[in-house]
Amino acid sequence: MNQNFAFETRAIHAGEQPDMRDGAAGDVAAPIHLSTTFARHEVDQPTGGYEYTRSLNPTRFALESKLAAIENTKYGLAFSSGLAAETAIIMGLLKSGDHVVASDDLYGGTKRLFNRVMSEFGITASYADVTDNSAFERAVTPATRMIWVETVSNPLLKIADIRELAEVAKRHHLILVVDNTFLSPYFMHPADLGADIVMHSATKYIGGHSDVLGGVVMTNDDALYEKIQYYQNAAGAVMAPFDSYIVMRGIKTLALRMERHEQNALKVAEFLEKHEKVSRVVYPGLPSFAQRTLHQSQASGNGGIISFEIRGTVEDAKRFLSRLQIIALAESLGGVESLVELPSLMTHSSVAPEERAKIGITDTLVRLSVGIENADDLIDDLAQAL
């Protein structure tokens, strides 16, 4: 698909051009190819390049083409979950003895993957403050092969300076991996800023409806793509055809949804910032946001995630969460419905308490994924619960 087309046009049409050849149906939406294997005329010539669904499937290929188009990259790959995508990057590109420098405020599942799974294979990780680029450079060792950050960190919403980190990576011949889940390709394109690999949990904004699990990887680099794609096929954690279709359908409304998420989140953040029972609100769209200038220099929007602290104790925070009526108390984010959670007891419970305290994840920190409901209804729900 022509990259000169606007994002909304690419999101709808990339990977799904109707087949108008004689005998073809001309499907406007890419069909779901459930077959696990594909017949061929010649022994050594797979039909259309398809031989076995784990290796390549027409529906997944359509999705992967769409992913590349919306993230401004040459290649896209789709996996069965976000952590499967992360595993493919790490295991496909690193070996025993290699070292990764990652941001200290990472999604708890990613830290668990580094600290408790990859460490068993001799791959180690150390952590640096994402607001201090020099900290990443100081953490580089002769064994370092990769830098891993999130565009907006989970859950403290710290902003990574992708351009500067790309320079650090270039100086030390490292691979820069950027998790763009919180902003989505609608609000940010890390590859345009120098990232070597961009990944997302497609379960979140890309899918957008809390009904499909998936992870995606995008890159412009031929060699990196070939290694990750080889691991995708060899290890087999691919996205299923039906899930690929669901994710494609979600992408078609990504632009509309992200605009509404952002509009609602700003209204909610402004309400929370004025409330006497809230001690701190962190949202990139607020004038009070500490890294606002950096954020605006590399992203076109602010997303729908707000973090805020309840005054009082963890029991006060738990009581507040239990009183919400519209906003669901649940892990995950990025769906059309609003979701709220307490990181210390939910998404980041696998992170040691002393480590949570060190990076600023307090017992009363709340992460709110603002959905696309009526903003006034969400504010009323928060007000009564507070």
Amino acid in position 36: T
Q: Which of 179, 196, 243, 381 is catalytic?
A: 179
Q: Which of 111, 158, 204, 356 is catalytic?
A: 204
CB 344 within 8 A of CB 367: no
DSSP symbol at 67: H
Q: Per the structure block, which two tokens stand in for 7?
A: 């994002």
- Taking alpha carbons only, the member of 266, 296, 283 closest to residue 158 is 283
Q: Per the structure block, which two tokens stand in for 124?
A: 């180690």
The pairing of strands 215-219 and 75-79 is antiparallel
- What's the rounded Cα separation, in Å, for the pair 295 and 121? 36
| Residue 245 falls in the annotated catalytic set | no
- Taking alpha carbons only, the member of 137, 151, 266 closest to residue 204 is 151
| Residue 107 falls in the annotated catalytic set | yes
CB 366 within 8 A of CB 157: no
| Residue 54 falls in the annotated catalytic set | yes
CB 209 within 8 A of CB 178: no
| Residue 179 falls in the annotated catalytic set | yes
Query: Buried b / exposed e across 291-322, counting CB within 10 Å, b at 16+?
Result: bbebbeebbebbbbbbbbbbeeeeeebbebbe
Coil, strand or helix at 344: coil
Place of tokens 């096929």: 233
Q: Which of 60, 66, 105, 107 is catalytic?
A: 107
Place of tokens 């984010």: 333
- Taking alpha carbons only, the member of 39, 178, 166, 161 closest to residue 102 is 178
- What's the rounded Cα separation, in Å, for the pair 308 and 340? 11
Coil, strand or helix at 144: strand
The pairing of strands 197-201 and 215-219 is antiparallel
Contacts of residue 119, defined as CB under 8 A and 6 or more positions apart, other chains included, come to 125
CB 327 within 8 A of CB 357: no
Cite the active site residues: 54, 107, 179, 204
